[in-house]
A and B are shown apart, each in its own frame.
Chain A
Amino acid sequence: MTEPLLAVRDLSIRFGDTEVVDRLSLTIRRGETLGLVGESGCGKSVSSLSLLGLLHGARVTGSIRLDGQELTNLSPQGWRRVRGGKIAMVFQDPMTALNPLLTVGRHLEEVLETHKGLRGREAQKFAADWLEKVGIPDPVRRLEAYPHELSGGMRQRVLIAMALAGEPDLLVADEPTTALDVTIQAQILDLLANLRRELSMSMLFVTHDLGVVERVADRLAVLYAGRLVEEGPVGEVLVRPRHPYTEGLLASVPGFRARTGRLRSIPGQVPSPSEWPSGCRFHPRCDRAGDICRTTRPDLPPDGRPACHFPLEAGS
C-alpha cells in the first residue's frame, strides 16, 4: 500500500499569539512505529493531542489525513468516531488517567459501548478478554477492582487495554512509561510492541527518552521548539545524527554515544514559545551557527537531510 496511514502536512498550532507548533509534517505508514522525540515544551504533547482534536482554545491549521480522510474539518460527531475508534491514546500518568470512582470493568465497558455497541454481559466478556491480552492475571476478578487497588504498571496496562478495545488503526502513546519504575517500563514497552504487531496497528510513540525510543520505534522524528529538525530511520538517526541538536541530545545521554569521557550538555535551555528566536530556532545554543542561521529558517528536505544550514557530515 503506497498511501501512508497518517499524513500530517504543515500543521501549525497557535494559542492566542503564541505559535507552539510550526508547520509540522509527519507521515506514519501502516504497521510502522514513529518515535517523536524532544525536550519538554517542544510541542510533542500538543501535536499528539491535536491528532485527536482535543485542544481547547487553540487554532490548528494545516492538514491531518488519516487513511485518506481529512480530520481537521470534522464535525464533533465525526471526531467522536475517530477518537478511540481509529486513533486511540495512552496517557502519560496512569495514576490520574483513570476515574477513581469507576471500576476497571466500567472503564473498559465504556469504550466497548461507544465503539463496538456492546452492553451488559457481552461487554463484560470482551472487557475481561482485553485485560487478559494486556497481561493482567485473573481478569474477571480485576473487572471489579477500583483504580486505587492496582499498581502503576497494572493501571498502565488497563489504560492500554482501554485504548486498544476500540481496535484503532493508530495508537498514540504519549510518554507511556515516564511515570513507571524502570523494571516496569521494559515490560510495558514490550507489551506495546507485541500488541502493535499482533493487531497490525501503527504507533506514534512520543517521548523524551532516547533509550526508550531505540527499543520500540522504526523511524524517528526530532522536534525542537515547535519545529521538526530531523527525521529518519531510528538506527541511522541515533548512530549518525546530522542535526547539531540531535547530536547534542545524544551526547548528553549516558552510555549512548559518549561511552568514553565526559557527558556533554547543550548550553542554555529551550526558549519558551513566546520568545522563540528568528531564523533557525536552535542557533543561540548551536556551536556551528553562522549568520544565515540568525535570519533564515532552514527547510527540512524530504531526502533525509536535517533542517540545518550546516549539517554534520554523514559518518562524521
Chain B
Amino acid sequence: MSGTATTSRFALALRGSLLARLSLGTLAFLYLAAILAGWIAPYGYDDESRAHSWAPPSQLRWIQGRPCVHPVSFSFDESARRVYVEDTSRAIPVRLFVNGRLFGLDSLEAISPQDGSSARLYLLGADARGRDLLSRLLYGGRISLSIGVVGVSISTFIALVVGGLAGFFGGWVDRSLMRVCEIFMLIPSFYLLMLLRATLPLDWDSRVVYLSIVLILSLIGWAGLARVIRGLVQSLRSADYIVAARALGVHPLVVLRRHALPQTFGFLAIQATLSIPGYIIAESGLSLLGLGIQDPQTSWGNLLQESMSIAEIHLHPWSLIPGLALFLAVLSYNLAGDALRDALDPRGGR
C-alpha cells in the first residue's frame, strides 16, 4: 500500500470516530504538557515547602477581576494532623508569565510582611514535603510518557533484527533465535523485570536508572514481537518480488532490509501503539514498588507511592490524580491503536 493511501485512510478513520479523535487529542495534550513541563509547571519538581506538607488544593478566588489565592496557615487537630486555614486578609494574584514560567504567584508578592512566610499556589494540592503535585505531575509525565516510546522503539528494533533474520534465513538461524525468544517469553515478565532491576544498584544517578529501566523493559518486550515478524517475513520470503530481487543478485541482507521488512511496518505501527501502554504501566509498577525512578525525581508511578494505603487516600485524595493521568494515557493509546488498526487493515472489519 502506498503512503498517501494509508494517510488518507487514517484521516478517514479519524473523521469517522469521535473516540479516535478524542484519544489522539488527549495524547497530544499530555505529550505537549510533558514537553513544556519546565515552563507550564508553576514550581520545580523538587521545590519543597515544609510549611505546606499535605496542603490541599488552593481555592481560586475572584478578587478585583483576577484570580487570587489566600495564604494558608495550619494548626493541629486532636490527632496531631495539620488543619489548613485560609488567611482572608491577604490575597495574592495568580499572574501569567511570572518567574520565567507560564503562570504562578509572583515570588515577591507571595511573601508575608508580618512573618516572612511565603504563600504557595497548589492547584492540585501538595505532597508530604509541600511540593506542588501539578508541577510534579508535569515533570513526571516526561518520564512516564517517554519511557513507552523509547522502550517500544528499542524492542521493535531488536524484534526486527531477530525476527527478520530468523524468518528470512530459516534453518538453524531460525531455530536458535526462536529458542532464545521462547526463553524470554517463558518467564513471567513482571517478575523478570523486578529480578533484573533488583540486580542493579538502587543508588544510581536518575538518568542511568531511567536508561536501565528502558533497556530492561525492551529486553522483555521484544520476544513476542520478534515471533510475529518472523512469521510475516517467512510468508514474504516466497513473494515474487523477493525472489526477483534475489534473482538479480542483490545481497540477501539488502533484500531483507529493503524488500521484506518494510512490508511489516503497517503492522508494527499498530503493534507499537498498542504496546506502549504496557511499558508505561510497567515503569509505573516498578517506580511504585520503589525500584524505578527515585525521589526527588518524579514519575507517575512513584507519585502514586503516596496513595498506596486507603488511609492516605482518605486524608489527601488528590494524591490519586497521577493515577488518573496514567489511566488517560493508557486508554488513549489503546483507542488510538484501534483506530490505527482500522485505518491500516480494512480487512479486520468492525
- Closest Cβ of chain A to B248, distance in Å, is 4
Contact across chains for B251 and A80 when beta carbons are under 8 A apart = yes
- Closest Cβ of chain A to B242, distance in Å, is 8
Q: Please classify how large the interface on chain B is, using the bins under 10, 10 to 19, 20 to 34, 35 or more.
A: 20 to 34
| CA of A99 to CA of B170, assembled, Å | 22
Contact across chains for A88 and B240 when beta carbons are under 8 A apart = no
B81 interface residue (CB < 8 Å to A):
no
- Closest Cβ of chain B to A101, distance in Å, is 5
Contact across chains for B243 and A54 when beta carbons are under 8 A apart = yes
Contact across chains for B241 and A99 when beta carbons are under 8 A apart = yes
Instruction: List A contacts of B258 (CB < 8 A).
Output: 99, 102, 110
Contact across chains for A83 and B249 when beta carbons are under 8 A apart = yes
Contact across chains for A84 and B248 when beta carbons are under 8 A apart = yes
Residue picked from B245, B247, B262, most chain A C-beta under 10 Å: B247
B197 interface residue (CB < 8 Å to A):
no
| CA of A84 to CA of B254, assembled, Å | 15
Asked whether A85 and B249 contact (CB < 8 A) given A96-B239, A101-B262, A146-B2, the answer is yes
- Closest Cβ of chain B to A166, distance in Å, is 7
Instruction: List B contacts of A80 (CB < 8 A).
Output: 249-251
| CA of A111 to CA of B245, assembled, Å | 9
| CA of A190 to CA of B33, assembled, Å | 65
Residues 65-97 of A contacting B (Cβ, < 8 Å) = 76, 79-85, 88-89, 91, 93, 96-97
Instruction: List B contacts of A99 (CB < 8 A).
Output: 241, 245, 258-259
8 A-B pairs with least C-beta separation: A84-B249, A84-B248, A83-B249, A96-B240, A97-B240, A99-B241, A89-B247, A80-B249
B235 interface residue (CB < 8 Å to A):
no
- Closest Cβ of chain B to A14, distance in Å, is 18
A115 interface residue (CB < 8 Å to B):
yes
Contact across chains for B240 and A93 when beta carbons are under 8 A apart = yes
| CA of A79 to CA of B247, assembled, Å | 9
Instruction: List B contacts of A101 (CB < 8 A).
Output: 2, 262-263
Residue of B nearest to A98 (CB): B241
Option from B2, B243, B249 in Cβ contact (under 8 Å) with A115: B249
Residue of A nearest to B239 (CB): A96
Residues 282-327 of B contacting A (Cβ, < 8 Å) = none
Instruction: List B contacts of A76 (CB < 8 A).
Output: 252
Residue of A nearest to B250 (CB): A114
Instruction: List A contacts of B251 (CB < 8 A).
Output: 80, 114
Instruction: List A contacts of B254 (CB < 8 A).
Output: 110
B246 interface residue (CB < 8 Å to A):
yes
A-contact 0/1 string along B223-247, CB 8 Å cutoff: 0000000000000000111011111
Given pairs A96-B241, A97-B243, 16 additional interface contacts (CB within 8 A): A54-B246, A56-B170, A81-B249, A83-B249, A88-B247, A89-B247, A91-B247, A99-B241, A102-B259, A110-B245, A110-B248, A110-B258, A111-B248, A111-B250, A114-B249, A162-B244
A163 interface residue (CB < 8 Å to B):
yes
| CA of A83 to CA of B245, assembled, Å | 10
B195 interface residue (CB < 8 Å to A):
no
Contact across chains for A163 and B248 when beta carbons are under 8 A apart = yes
- Closest Cβ of chain B to A254, distance in Å, is 31
Option from A82, A96, A159 in Cβ contact (under 8 Å) with B249: A82
Contact across chains for A148 and B2 when beta carbons are under 8 A apart = yes
- Closest Cβ of chain A to B188, distance in Å, is 37
Residue of B nearest to A99 (CB): B241
- Closest Cβ of chain A to B48, distance in Å, is 54
A52 interface residue (CB < 8 Å to B):
yes
Residue of A nearest to B2 (CB): A146
Contact across chains for A83 and B246 when beta carbons are under 8 A apart = yes
Instruction: List A contacts of B250 (CB < 8 A).
Output: 80, 84, 110-111, 114
Contact across chains for A83 and B241 when beta carbons are under 8 A apart = no
Instruction: List A contacts of B18 (CB < 8 A).
Output: none
A100 interface residue (CB < 8 Å to B):
yes
Residue of B nearest to A101 (CB): B262
Instruction: List A contacts of B263 (CB < 8 A).
Output: 101
| CA of A101 to CA of B263, assembled, Å | 8
Option from B2, B170, B240, B252 in Cβ contact (under 8 Å) with A91: B240
Contact across chains for A91 and B249 when beta carbons are under 8 A apart = no
Residue of B nearest to A76 (CB): B252
| CA of A111 to CA of B248, assembled, Å | 7
B80 interface residue (CB < 8 Å to A):
no
Residue of A nearest to B244 (CB): A97
| CA of A83 to CA of B259, assembled, Å | 17
Residue picked from A76, A79, A82, A91, most chain B C-beta under 10 Å: A91
Option from B247, B252, B259 in Cβ contact (under 8 Å) with A84: B247
B108 interface residue (CB < 8 Å to A):
no
Residues 99-156 of A contacting B (Cβ, < 8 Å) = 99-102, 110-111, 114-115, 146, 148
Residue picked from B1, B244, B246, most chain A C-beta under 10 Å: B244
- Closest Cβ of chain B to A78, distance in Å, is 11
Instruction: List A contacts of B244 (CB < 8 A).
Output: 89, 91, 97-98, 159, 162
